[in-house]
């Protein structure tokens, strides 16, 4: 203890000093943590409101991450469908070439058929390999959802794409265009009632285009508005929570300066000696 305080101080004179030191410590803590509310006693009602807003903010941020994840998954699906569509365009060109028997030799038509077989194998590999976080996207039965918006993803396997029912009552698919299939382009020609290989390939390409359109609409009209709304809600909630809980640095800095001055004044007063009314009157003239 300061000797002067021990000699001249008194309990009533120490109370303002103790109060100033307590307030200064609380102000210094707020400046150090950046928070106006560091414990429940700082503002019980404010603490309740702040914690409720923090919980709401955590939910909004988790929802925003889910929207972002759904967008990334939809992007993967769209890219894979786009690659399948490009392959089907090449397949369509080969089928058109083989449909004209007059301009190509049999060896050329067989070569086109082999290339078409390779394209079908690539389509199947894309269908099997398209996935997001180990979740298959184009094997059939998959869907993407965000909030109350969802999109169904088709199977891009050649055994499922391009379904066409012929006049013979049979159903044909893209797999039937391969070598050995009933719609092989290098064969003798379509049997009675059968659709052409070109019909099946075009049907498959249309299915892929519709699927890409659905995925694009899911991103642009489904997820994007939800993401914008979520971003605004996160910003407003974080701002409201900050107003309640965060410290006002300018105000707290000014308060710390005031309390330091008050503490110094109290210490100076204690070193002067016990309070004497006559001395005060003399000072006042």
pLDDT of residue 281: 57
Phi, psi of 275 (to 5 degrees): -65, 130
pLDDT of residue 38: 80
pLDDT of residue 9: 46
In 3D, which of 122, 113, 121, 202 has the Cα closest to residue 164?
202
* Distance separating alpha carbons of residues 278 and 96, to the nearest angstrom: 118
* Distance separating alpha carbons of residues 173 and 245, to the nearest angstrom: 64
What tokens does 64 get? 């925003």
Would you say how long the chain is, in residues? 285
Q: Burial level of 276, CB count in 10 A (0-12/13-18/19+)?
A: exposed
Cβ-based neighbour number of residue 159 at 10 Å:
14
Crossing angle between the packed helical segments 197-217 and 44-99, to the nearest 10 degrees? 160
What tokens does 93 get? 């060109």
* Distance separating alpha carbons of residues 89 and 209, to the nearest angstrom: 11
What tokens does 266 get? 């109290």
Q: At 193, is the secondary structure helix, strand, or coil?
A: coil
* Distance separating alpha carbons of residues 159 and 204, to the nearest angstrom: 11
How far is CA 155 from each of CA 43, 73, 96, 195, 240, rounded to the nearest angstrom? Answer: 58, 16, 25, 22, 47
* Distance separating alpha carbons of residues 9 and 274, to the nearest angstrom: 6
Q: Where are the beta strands (DSSP E) in the chain?
A: 131-132, 135-136, 143-146, 149-152, 164-165, 171-172
Q: How distant is the alpha carbon of residue 235 from its chain centre?
A: 15
* Distance separating alpha carbons of residues 283 and 23, to the nearest angstrom: 31
pLDDT tens digits for range 141-189: 999 998 889 999 999 999 999 999 998 889 999 999 999 999 998 765 5
Please list the ranges in the chain whose pLDDT falls under 70.
1-13, 16-17, 20, 101, 187-192, 248-249, 252, 262-263, 265-285
**Count of alpha carbons within 13 angstroms of residue 259, beta-carbon side:** 18
């Amino acid at each position: 203890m300061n000797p002067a305080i021990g000699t001249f101080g008194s309990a009533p004179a120490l109370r303002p000093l103790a109060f100033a030191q307590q307030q200064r410590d609380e102000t210094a803590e707020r400046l150090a943590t950046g928070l106006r509310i560091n414990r429940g006693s700082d503002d019980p009602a404010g603490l309740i409101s702040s914690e409720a807003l923090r919980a709401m903010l955590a939910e909004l941020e988790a929802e925003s991450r889910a929207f972002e994840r759904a967008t990334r998954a939809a992007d993967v699906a769209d890219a894979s469908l786009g690659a399948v569509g490009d392959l089907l365009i090449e397949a369509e060109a080969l089928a058109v070439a083989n449909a004209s028997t007059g301009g190509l030799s049999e060896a050329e038509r067989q070569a086109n058929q082999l290339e078409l077989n390779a394209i079908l194998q690539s389509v199947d590999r894309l269908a099997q390999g398209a996935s997001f976080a180990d979740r298959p996207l184009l094997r059939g039965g998959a869907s993407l959802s965000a909030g109350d918006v969802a999109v169904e993803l088709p199977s891009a396997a050649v055994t499922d794409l391009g379904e066409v029912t012929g006049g013979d009552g049979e159903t044909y698919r893209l797999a039937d265009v391969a070598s050995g299939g009933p719609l092989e382009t290098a064969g003798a020609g379509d049997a009675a009632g059968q659709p052409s290989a070109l019909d099946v390939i075009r049907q498959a390409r249309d299915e892929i285009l519709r699927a890409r359109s659905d995925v694009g609409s899911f991103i642009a009209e489904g997820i994007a508005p939800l993401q914008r709304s979520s971003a605004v809600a996160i910003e407003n909630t974080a701002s409201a929570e900050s107003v309640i809980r965060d410290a006002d640095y300018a105000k707290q800095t000014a308060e710390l300066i005031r309390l330091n001055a008050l503490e110094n004044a109290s210490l100076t007063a204690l070193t002067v000696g016990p309070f004497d009314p006559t001395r005060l009157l003399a000072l006042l003239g």
